Amino acid sequence: MTTRSPAVVAAVLAAAMVGCAGAEAAVPECEPGRRLAILAQSVPTASLVPCLESMPAGWSFAALDVDSQRSRFWLDSDRAGLRAAEIELSATCDVSDGTQGEPEEDGTDRYQRLSSLSPRFAGTTYDVFDGGCVIYRYDFASGPHITLYQELHDAVTLFPREDLEPLTTGLDRLPAS
């Protein structure tokens, strides 16, 4: 096993993202592809990778940030505002202050931590699974918050890493530093 410096991993990931200047090209869609493989490589232990199944009406993809420790993407909402939701893939997460709820995906545990109910509905949801965690951070206006919350969680799906193996194999051979 070779050891790679974070700088080398970041440089390779950045190079892989060249040519994806438009937001549409950067959307991590739920089909095996380069974008999803890059997210998977940011957290090599994660058995699942977050992706966007379909965008609900009024939602749009805002940005993607990938480095050697995690991946994050943001969603805008015409009702909740710019970057109303952030979705992060990480190797671990702290759910100690969260309340356990019903998981939406097989093989996951779900936790919820609310930070505000009024005047805004804000909080964090965690989907914990083998080798990783997806963290959903959101901040919505109080009025339509239940609908916005459900739309967010319906849009984001967890894709099995094993289905990406052919795409991630080449990325595993990053040059040693």
Measure the CA–CA gap between 86 and 173, rounded to whole angstroms.
30
pLDDT tens figures, 53-67 = 889 999 999 999 999
pLDDT tens figures, 124-170 = 999 999 999 999 999 987 677 888 999 999 999 999 998 887 655 55
Give the chain's radius of gyration (CA, Å). Answer: 16
Measure the CA–CA gap between 165 and 159, rounded to whole angstroms.
12
CATH code linked to domain 6-172: 3.40.1000
Give residue limits of the domains in the chain.
6-172
One-letter amino acid for residue 69 of the chain: Q
What pTM was estimated for this model as a whole? 0.78
